[in-house]
A and B are shown apart, each in its own frame.
Chain A
Amino acid sequence: MAGPGHEDSAAPADEASAEARLLDQHELSRRAFVKAAALFGTGGFLAAGGLVGLSSLARVSAAADLDSATAAELAKRQWAFVIDLRRCDGCGKCTKGCQQMHFLPEGQEWIKVYTVTGAGGQTISLPVLCQMCEEPPCTKVCPVVATYQEPDGVVVIDQEICIGCRMCMAACPYGVRVFNWQQPPQVPEGARSASPLFTAPQRQGTVGKCDSCAHRLREGDFPACVTSCPMEAIYVGDFVTDIATNGRETVVLSEFLRTNDAFRLKEELGTKPRVYYIAGHGQDLDF
């Protein structure tokens, strides 16, 4: 780091060694430049490399935390919903049942009942819950794998991990994701849970959405929206056993979908939802 001022003070008698020192310095600073350039040139790559290295420690998804036997066991169910729009009268009881089940904050809806106008001018009530996409766009964009797909097809959120960037809300084409802006209400001691399958209370500053009542499905119970629908319009089913039920009547899932011309929302996006809708006659299929 010595500057030219110091060289000036070098004894003129010792010219040879002064020159040597000068050369030395040039060599030194030259090296410093090459180093700086090299540092920059490789800096980016090193940063990327380091991140790749770190990622060997990273989990691909929380589902990967499961051992393969458990995962295979869970994969023996592939859940689906069917909503018979001919029966839905838009009463909104599914929304309320869901809110009670999950201790949701006032106004937060995990199954929203939209009123849309069909091609013939008729009014249609359209309940929209998480579409349980086979190819979920939301899990792709989550930077920390807080939202992921369980082996049985349910897409859930780990609110202990979610950083609250809301990228998944941007990616979801169905608008089913909500954000916990406020501190959610208290939950009775016994009902509290931090599991991604059932998080109560919801965590402030994280994204929430319909979890398909995965905790109940695995216990052989019905989701809250199915049991609270007085019109028995919501069926829950499983593609593996090919059965679906609304709690009273049981149908063969594939046949039920085929004979009733079931459709899915925004099929053209390639998300492959597992929520099917059955339209009445003359209804517009494109919402």
Chain B
Amino acid sequence: MVEQRTGSPPTAQQELHSAALRPVVDAGRRFWLLFIGLGLVALAGAGAYGLQLVAGGLSVTGYNDQVFWGSYEATLVAFIGFSYGGALVSAVLRLTNAPWRGPITRIAEVSALATLLVGALFPIIHLGHPERIWLLFVQPNFQSPIFWDMVAILTYMLATLVLLTLPLIPDAAALRDHPRLGRWHRRLYGVLSLGWTGTEQQRRSLERALTVVAILIVPLAVVVHTVLSYTFSLTSRPGWHSTIFGPYFVIGAVYSGVAVVILAALAYRRAYGLQRWIDDKTIKKLAFVMVALGAAYGYATFSEITTEGFVGKEAEVELLYGLLLERFAPLFWSFIGLGLLAPIALIAFRRTRTPAGIALAAGLVIVAMYLKRILIVVPPLSRPVIGGDVGAYLPSPVEIAIVSGAAAGVVLIMLFLFRFLPVMAVDEMVEIEREQAEALASRGRTPAPQPISVSGAPDG
């Protein structure tokens, strides 16, 4: 695994190593422009939260006694959902041993961590007394979904960290002595490599550990999103009290999370010229995964609306009229059009199934799924439970600043992490290629061009 320093032209493996370190060794001027721009947005968000903390509490939000949850809760559900998509892409593709996973697992794992770290701030941001959060540990009520939200999110955070760091071990060992790395990076990689020398035994242990993590993270992430949905569905409120909420949240989470992975992968491959490794085929496969999940989400939406609307219970019908025809109709149909139909169409037709088309589809999914989370939180609250007027809610400037700052924060964390970590799982890619070559050889064939290859056929 030690870098061979010879005068001959670089081998495919050496090229891969250099490519994976491009954002680390030479981020480029545009990186810093983006970094500073996003940093300012994040700072504005932090300032807005400071304002909320010291200068007026939650009165700086657009919340009221009827619509007492809104953008913060929607952001919490959305961001932790994004995280789940990244973790699941990495875990499921590993478990199914999908050979095309190599170049995107690292991006998926970092996306999972970045969105989770920011999303996990919102259960605190939305509190009236954030300084009392320690009471959740000291005198918890085990019946409360909020308590289990906390347990689930913290456990899942640990799992996401492990999912990111385990595959880093061989990468750190392989890249530790890369000539273009500085002293600090070499030291960091030395620590991360945990004494890895690449023996059979170590490989077996790592593989076993990774399998355990990948297996565990699937039910864990399902639990996180089900428990999040329980915050809503374990109440008797019409529009929330629904058995579909658990799976509905889980599907929505993966759907939007895969979109984040696609967008991040496309951005990095474009910015650092990684087309040879993160090729169009890989992006298309991810796009197909996203479309399948979008179809499932559309099905769940249809199923929920039909079962509630057909029977015609008063409260549910009122809510549905609001959603489909009245107050929330513009938002709802925007979600259907931009969040379900347009992305599916963009990817279904070969003409638009291009990197640009897929990027557009993924961007639409991210925005529309955020909108959908607002539609999950707000309409059931705005309908009065006994009598009186329909409650109004518009996010305040402080809310908008905090949520925008959070979105910028996610990208900042990703940019920051990829200043230190290789953007692709180089060891995994080398291993996959070796396994495939062996499999072909054992069938008595000569190695044909690989689907995803380290040596990399030019884009097709």
Contacts and interface: CB of A to CB of B under 8 A. Distances in A.
A14 B6 CA distance: 28
B54 interface: no
Most chain A CB inside 10 Å of its own CB: which residue of B56, B140, B386? B386
A25 B193 CA distance: 13
Given A33-B205, A43-B158, A164 B135 contact: no
B307 interface: no
Contacts of A179: 58, 63, 65, 68, 128
B387 interface: yes
B133 to A, nearest CB: 6
Contacts of B236: 137, 171, 173, 269
A140 B235 CA distance: 10
Given A58-B138, A265-B386, A142 B151 contact: no
Given A32-B194, A47-B154, A179-B58, A205 B129 contact: yes
B354 interface: no
Which range contains the number of B residues in contact with the other chain? Answer: 35 or more
Interface stretch (B10-18, B206-214, B435-443): B206-214
B385 interface: yes
Nearest to B240: A170
Interface residues of A, number: 70
29 contacts: A5-B2, A25-B195, A28-B195, A29-B202, A32-B194, A33-B194, A33-B202, A40-B216, A43-B158, A43-B162, A47-B158, A58-B138, A58-B140, A112-B388, A143-B144, A144-B135, A161-B132, A162-B128, A163-B129, A163-B130, A163-B135, A164-B58, A170-B381, A175-B66, A175-B385, A179-B63, A179-B65, A183-B57, A265-B386
Interface of B: 1-2, 56-59, 63-66, 68-69, 123, 126-130, 132-133, 135-147, 150-151, 154-155, 158-159, 162, 166, 173, 176-177, 190-191, 193-197, 199, 201-202, 205-206, 208-209, 212-213, 216, 220, 231-232, 234-237, 240, 381, 384-388
Given A39-B162, A144-B139, A162-B132, 7 more contacts: A4-B2, A26-B201, A40-B162, A44-B159, A167-B231, A175-B386, A179-B65
Interface of A: 1-5, 7, 22, 25-26, 28-30, 32-34, 36-37, 39-41, 43-44, 47-48, 51, 54-55, 57-59, 112, 114-116, 126, 128, 137, 140-145, 161-167, 169-175, 178-183, 204-207, 265, 269, 287
